[in-house]
Amino acid sequence: MPAPAPDDADGRRVPADRARARRRGRASGERVPFGELALLIGPALIVFVAFVILPVVMAAYYGFFSWSGYGVPTEFVGVRNYLTILGDPDFREALGHNAVIVVMSLVLQGPIALGLALLLNRKLRFQSVIRVLIFVPYVISEVVVGLGWGLMLQTNGAVNGLLENLGLGALSADWISDPNLAIWTLMAIITWKYVGFAVILFLAGLQGIPDELAEAAAIDGASYWQIQRRITLPLMGPTIRIWAFLSIIGSLQLFDLVWIIWGQYVSSTAGTSTMATYMVANGRNAGSYGYGSAVAVIMFLISLVIALLYQRFVLRRDTAGAITGGAR
């Protein structure tokens, strides 16, 4: 007995031959005309190749030369630049600082942002104003943030002055130049600036969780914290994992705040140098663009490997549901 023909979108019965044609089209896949495909994908592909792929290839090429940035590179040095970078203790120190920033960004920003998001997801007075105030630091330019905090955290700056006026002068410190404090000062600034982005992202994830789930759990006797632990956090997993991925990649590429607040020389002595500041200081500012290009390639490879591993082992659950096979 043949299967009944399915209904069309408007509820009308679809003839059996049209239904079979639709099933065959979904199973075999309809060929998109090349002209239409080129029109839709072409502009984005050109931009991607011109501004992503080509610069990476050129940086990899220049990394094999000792090049001052003028004219055509002619002094081929092979992998000497890369061996020098990997053997430089300053680069290894900068890489270690990036690792600390990655871990501490996840440890500090994640719980703070999640707590604020849970708080702001409830009905509060001036809720919209509070959301805006939390998000404001994220939209402020890094240059403005760096200059502002750099001035306030100086030895005679506003922070130490406030502590003195409050009778807490014993807590005054050299927040920028002290190697034991500088990295924590940087983490405090990063957390203040970027936690708003995480809060907005988490709030968007919380909006997608049906209220009926929490209401049903509450009827069954679950407490507020049990609901958050057993229902909210598991359903927030994809959002948290995406935020963590963005935070990791951003921490590996951190440059502007460190460079503006600490500068070229203090960033290394204060213990806040990163791979990006090392690249600019030893590449562009040193007139060795070949060496700087090699550092850029290493940064790209480190970020690429971490991104692939993260997608393979962490985002696999989230992307598995998006992969669909053809009808059989």
- Kindly report, residue by residue over 274-293, the tens digit of the pLDDT: 999 999 999 988 889 999 99
Instruction: Report the DSSP beta bridge partners of residue 310.
Output: none
Taking the C-alpha atoms of residue 122 and residue 38, their distance in angstroms, rounded to an integer, is: 47
Query: Is 186 inside a domain boundary?
Result: yes
Please tell me the total count of domains within the chain: 1
Is residue 152 a part of any domain in this protein?
Answer: yes
Structure tokens at 244: 């963590």
Number of Cα atoms under 13 Å in the Cβ half of residue 57: 7
* Residue 189 host element (H or E): helix 179-207
Confidence of residue 144 (pLDDT cuts 50, 70, 90): very high
Looking at the predicted structure, is the pLDDT value of residue 6 above 70? no
Which DSSP state fits 253?
Answer: T
pLDDT tens readout for residues 77-108: 989 999 999 999 999 999 999 999 999 999 99
* 318 in a structural domain: no
Q: Tell whether 315 is covered by a domain.
A: no
Residue 49 belongs to some domain of the structure: no
How far CA 109 is from CA of 197, 244, 299, 311, in Å, comes to: 10, 10, 24, 21
Mean local confidence (pLDDT), 103-122 = 92
Whether 254 is covered by a domain: the verdict is yes
CATH number at residue 283: 1.10.3720.10
Owning domain of residue 201:
97-290
User: Would you say residue 37 lies in a domain?
Assistant: no
Are 101 and 186 spatial neighbours (Cβ–Cβ below 8 Å)? yes
The whole-model pTM stands at 0.82
What does the pLDDT look like over 146-199, one tens digit per residue?
999 999 998 888 999 999 998 888 888 889 888 888 999 999 999 999 999 999
User: Does some domain include residue 4?
Assistant: no
